[in-house]
């Protein structure tokens, strides 16, 4: 089988089999490599030791395992779940071994782009935010918020108005002096079924569907080929009693931005120092909260963001 080579989240990925979620990535190599080997067996075939520490345990509503993260000083980290399969990362984030789960290669790739590659990016010295982002006038504009707040929908709405899609749900940042450079993500976006139906009703064509679950479908999107300096981060705050027109509030305390961080599982002193520095840089430049009511749609939010940053519609 042909291999995959793609640069996403600031990492140069080289996999020993085709990965449809990465195949249309166009970003230039960064020099931070990760070698990926994928087998057909279960997680036990990866030689993961029994003496491992459980450091994260994500559960389904029925109490079953969604995914877990384990750590072993010599073997590195294992991220696994019954449906998703397993991924074992070396301690330095340069090597990945994978085994498919019950839902096959599509589910394994969903975990790859949502958790595993972002985890590897942190191990290789980047900081990662739980945020979607677009590029406008050469700068990255990012959107954080809890799941379901509308990060992806807002990013796609801005792209329909002329922005370039940068990344969905995971934003890898690299420090460059007093700037933070936002790297291109995987060339896919997770669109919830209600939003997909709304877009179709508005006559906006959906992208190729690569995978789907009960909550969303993963669609192929065209992403920017170039990283961009981060110019603004907006935290989406939807409230039942929110205003009819979006309201912008300043975020001046860097500690408020920690909630947008990818995870706190990796709490080494060097990582925490970098995280605090990144948060301080974001707070210094342009960090705001967008307060909106539940009826405010992505198109309204996009127009409000454009006015706020002074972009041309």
Question: pLDDT of 134-176, one tens digit each?
Answer: 999 999 999 998 877 889 989 999 998 999 999 999 999 998 8
Look at residues 107, 124, 141 and tell me which one is the last residue of a structural domain.
Answer: 124
| Residue 89 and residue 173 in one domain | no
CATH number at residue 162: 3.90.228.20
pLDDT of residue 203: 45
Tell me whether residue 217 is in a domain. no
Beta-strand runs (E) in 223-265: 228-238, 247-250
Look at the pTM and tell me if it is higher than 0.85: yes
Tell me whether residue 285 is in a domain. yes
| Residue 61 and residue 170 in one domain | no
Q: Which domain holds residue 80?
A: 4-124
Q: How does pLDDT run along the chain (313 residues), one tens digit per residue?
A: 689 999 999 999 999 999 999 999 999 999 999 999 998 655 556 889 988 999 999 999 999 999 999 999 999 999 999 999 999 999 999 999 999 999 999 999 999 999 999 999 999 999 999 999 999 999 999 999 887 788 998 999 999 899 999 999 999 999 888 889 999 999 999 877 666 666 555 444 456 777 767 677 788 899 999 999 999 999 999 999 999 899 999 887 767 777 778 767 777 777 777 777 787 778 776 889 999 998 898 899 999 999 999 865 5
| Residue 27 and residue 174 in one domain | no
Helix boundaries (H) for 193-268? 193-201, 254-257
User: What is the rounded CA–CA span in Å between residue 79 and residue 70?
Assistant: 7
Q: Indicate the SS3 state at residue 191.
A: strand
Neighbour-count burial of 198, counting CB atoms closer than 10 A to its CB (0-12 exposed, 13-18 middle, 19+ buried): middle
Look at residues 73, 102, 124 and tell me which one is the last residue of a structural domain.
Answer: 124
How far is C-alpha 255 from the chain's CA centre?
20
- Name the domain count of the chain: 2
Tell me whether residue 160 is in a domain. yes
Tell me whether residue 193 is in a domain. no
Look at residues 102, 124, 146 and tell me which one is the last residue of a structural domain.
Answer: 124
| Residue 166 and residue 106 in one domain | no
Burial 240-263 (b: 16+ CB within 10 A, else e): eebeeebeeeebeebeebeebbbe
């Amino acid at each position: 089988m042909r291999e995959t080579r793609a640069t996403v989240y600031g990492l140069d990925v080289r996999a020993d089999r085709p990965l449809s979620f990465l195949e249309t990535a166009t970003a230039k190599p960064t020099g931070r490599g990760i070698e990926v080997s994928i087998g057909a067996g279960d997680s036990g075939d990866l030689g993961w030791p029994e003496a491992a520490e459980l450091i994260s345990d994500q559960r389904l509503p029925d109490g079953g395992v969604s995914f877990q993260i384990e750590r072993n000083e010599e073997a590195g980290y294992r991220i696994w779940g019954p449906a998703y399969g397993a991924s074992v990362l070396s301690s330095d984030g340069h090597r990945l071994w994978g085994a498919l789960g019950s839902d096959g290669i599509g589910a394994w790739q969903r975990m790859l782009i949502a958790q595993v590659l972002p985890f590897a990016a942190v191990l290789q010295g980047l900081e990662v935010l739980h945020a979607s982002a677009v590029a406008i006038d050469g700068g990255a504009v990012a959107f954080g918020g809890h799941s379901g707040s509308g990060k992806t929908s807002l990013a796609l709405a801005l792209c329909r108005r002329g922005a370039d899609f940068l990344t969905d749900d995971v934003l890898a940042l690299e420090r460059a002096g007093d700037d933070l450079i936002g790297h291109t993500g995987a060339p896919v976006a997770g669109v919830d079924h209600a939003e997909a139906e709304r877009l179709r009703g508005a006559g906006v064509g959906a992208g190729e569907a690569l995978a789907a679950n009960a909550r969303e479908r993963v669609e192929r999107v065209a992403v920017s080929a170039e990283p961009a300096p981060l110019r603004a981060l907006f935290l989406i705050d939807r409230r039942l009693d929110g205003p009819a027109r979006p309201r912008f509030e300043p975020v001046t305390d860097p500690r408020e931005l920690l909630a947008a961080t990818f995870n706190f599982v990796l709490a080494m002193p060097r990582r925490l120092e970098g995280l605090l520095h990144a948060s301080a840089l974001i707070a210094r430049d342009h960090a705001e909260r967008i307060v909106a009511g539940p009826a405010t749609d992505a198109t309204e939010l996009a127009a409000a963001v454009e006015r706020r940053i002074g972009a041309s519609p």
